[in-house]
């Protein structure tokens, strides 16, 4: 179980914390839609969870292990993936190669330099690419793929490199509705079938359709936390 306990995040320009006493727990298999108005702290929260930002207070526990300590940080780097709006893929490499070689934080240096892979890694990557419905795109250069296909290649890369949790900051922004639904359906299936945990910043209507749970931020605090249903008018008005 993942436990965020009274997370506080300050920024230099603001006298008061931007994230205030954020507490929640996540279980494997949950797909959480993170919603809230502009400036409510969604991106900052994801950055803190990815340990890309220093925590100014609070505890972060995974299965009882304090991940803010040195050993725990390695666990986050190994098991948590950060999916960006425009995934960082090498456009001149094939989709398969991008999945295999991974990002610098996950991949040994020798593999980054040589691009060499082991045959069992190759088979594993092809299985994952097929599972995400992109087998026919595996040998295409990623520069030739659509936004939604790139997003799914980034998901495949995260999974191949051992991600158990995916943090996704506006993963469907700028995608056409069909591609956006395909990306979110892919993530939802992975949560159900592979017990992946996902937190994604997405619009409310998509969160209500695809997520098992909705976490709403307002002014850097959790204003709404509902599981398995749509938000009421009252809950929407708190955001």
- Residue 199 interacts with ligand ATP (CB under 6 A): yes or no: no
- Residue 11 interacts with ligand ATP (CB under 6 A): yes or no: yes
Instruction: Figure out which of the listed residues 4, 26, 35, 36 binds ligand ATP, where binding follows CB under 6 A.
Output: 36
Site size toward ligand ATP (CB under 6 A) is 11
Q: Which stretch binds ligand ATP (CB under 6 A): 11-19, 22-30, 56-64, 179-187?
A: 11-19
Nearer to ligand ATP, 145 or 201 (CB): 201
Nearer to ligand ATP, 11 or 123 (CB): 11
Q: 37 to 56, contacts with ligand ATP by CB under 6 A?
A: 38-44
Nearer to ligand ATP, 100 or 222 (CB): 222
Number of H helices, E strands in the chain: 9, 10
CB of 123 to ligand ATP, least distance (A): 39
CB atoms within 10 A of CB 237: 9
Mark 55-79 as b/e (b = at least 16 C-beta within 10 Å). beebebbbeeeebeeeebeeebeee
Instruction: Tell me the C-alpha distance between 103 and 109, whole Å.
Output: 10
The H-or-E segment that residue 73 falls in is: helix 70-79
Give Cβ neighbours of residue 239 (< 8 Å, ≥ 6 apart).
35, 36, 37, 40, 216, 217, 218, 223, 224
Q: Give me the residues that bind ligand ATP (CB under 6 A), please.
A: 11, 13, 18, 36, 38-44
């Amino acid at each position: 179980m993942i436990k965020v306990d009274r997370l506080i995040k300050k920024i230099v320009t603001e006298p008061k914390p931007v994230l205030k006493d954020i507490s929640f727990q996540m279980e494997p298999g949950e797909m959480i839609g993170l919603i809230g108005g502009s400036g409510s702290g969604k991106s900052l929260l994801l950055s803190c969870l990815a340990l890309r930002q220093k925590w100014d207070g609070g505890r972060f526990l995974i299965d009882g292990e304090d991940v803010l300590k040195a050993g725990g940080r390695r666990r986050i780097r190994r098991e948590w993936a950060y999916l960006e709006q425009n995934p960082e893929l090498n456009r001149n490499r094939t989709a398969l190669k991008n999945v295999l070689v991974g990002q610098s934080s996950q991949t040994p240096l020798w593999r980054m330099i040589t691009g060499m892979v082991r045959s069992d890694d190759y088979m594993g990557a092809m299985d994952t690419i097929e599972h995400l419905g992109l087998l026919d795109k595996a040998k295409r250069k990623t520069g030739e793929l659509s936004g939604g296909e790139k997003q799914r290649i980034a998901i495949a890369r995260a999974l191949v490199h051992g991600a158990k949790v995916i943090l996704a900051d506006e993963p469907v922004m700028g995608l056409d509705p069909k591609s956006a639904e395909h990306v979110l359906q892919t993530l939802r299936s992975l949560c159900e079938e592979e017990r992946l945990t996902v937190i994604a910043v997405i619009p409310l209507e998509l969160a209500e359709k695809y997520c098992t749970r909705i976490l709403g931020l307002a002014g850097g605090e959790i204003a709404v936390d509902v599981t398995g249903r749509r938000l009421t008018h009252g809950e929407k008005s708190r955001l």
